[in-house]
């Protein structure tokens, strides 16, 4: 069996969010879980940000961050890891889209790939519309380009005002 150093790695970015329970602790838990995966290297994480809820606005504010990692897992397998971490943190998926949640992990970018698979679309299909994704992403990579969309900075500058504030 090859060692972790023998795998080819792809740079990926993960969006992290929480608005139920202790969001800071849940995001730390998720980062620790990602870092413990043998075929994932957690490289950096953004600061934490607080933002108003997106989609369904009548719910608590979110704590958000973005993590930069290298992974030798295919995108579908990396998504499975993210879903398992959400479940471990008490996430219950129901039919309410954009509702409150203990932990939300989104695969935002996977290298320069553009994927449309059942249950997975990369780049994340709404990331360019969300200031709470773009600001922490640009903190890590100020001039990042979103495949098939363009500059994250230009996307952010074109957004309607969204409350997103750096907290840590």
- Catalytic residues, by residue number, are 91, 101, 104, 106
Please name the residues in contact with 89: beta carbons below 8 A apart, sequence gap of 6 or more.
26, 29, 30, 102, 103
- Among all chains, which residue has been given the structure tokens 């992403």? 137
What does each C-alpha distance from 52 to 8, 102, 161, 164 come to in angstroms?
38, 15, 11, 7
φ, ψ for residue 88 (rounded to 5)? -60, -30
Cβ atoms 151, 137 nearer than 8 A: no
* DSSP string over 94-145: -S-TT---S-EEEEEEETT--EEETTEEES-TTGGG-HHHHHHHHHH-TT-E
Measured on CA atoms in the order 116, 160, 98, 25, is the torsion positive or negative?
Answer: positive
């Amino acid at each position: 069996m090859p060692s972790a150093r023998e795998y080819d790695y792809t740079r990926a970015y993960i969006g992290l969010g929480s608005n139920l329970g202790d969001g800071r602790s849940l995001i730390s838990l998720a980062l620790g879980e990602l870092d413990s995966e043998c075929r994932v290297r957690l490289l950096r994480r953004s600061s934490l940000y607080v933002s108003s809820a997106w989609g369904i606005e009548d719910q608590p504010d979110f704590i958000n961050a973005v993590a930069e990692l290298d992974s030798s897992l295919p995108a579908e397998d990396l998504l499975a890891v993210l879903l398992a971490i959400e479940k471990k943190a008490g996430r219950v998926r129901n039919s309410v889209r954009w509702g409150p949640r203990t932990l939300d992990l989104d695969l935002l970018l996977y290298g320069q790939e553009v994927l449309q698979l059942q249950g997975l679309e990369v780049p994340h299909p709404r990331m360019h519309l969300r200031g709470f994704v773009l600001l922490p992403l640009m903190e890590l990579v100020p001039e990042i380009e979103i495949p098939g969309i363009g500059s994250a900075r230009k996307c952010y500058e074109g957004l309607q005002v969204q409350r997103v504030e750096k907290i840590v």
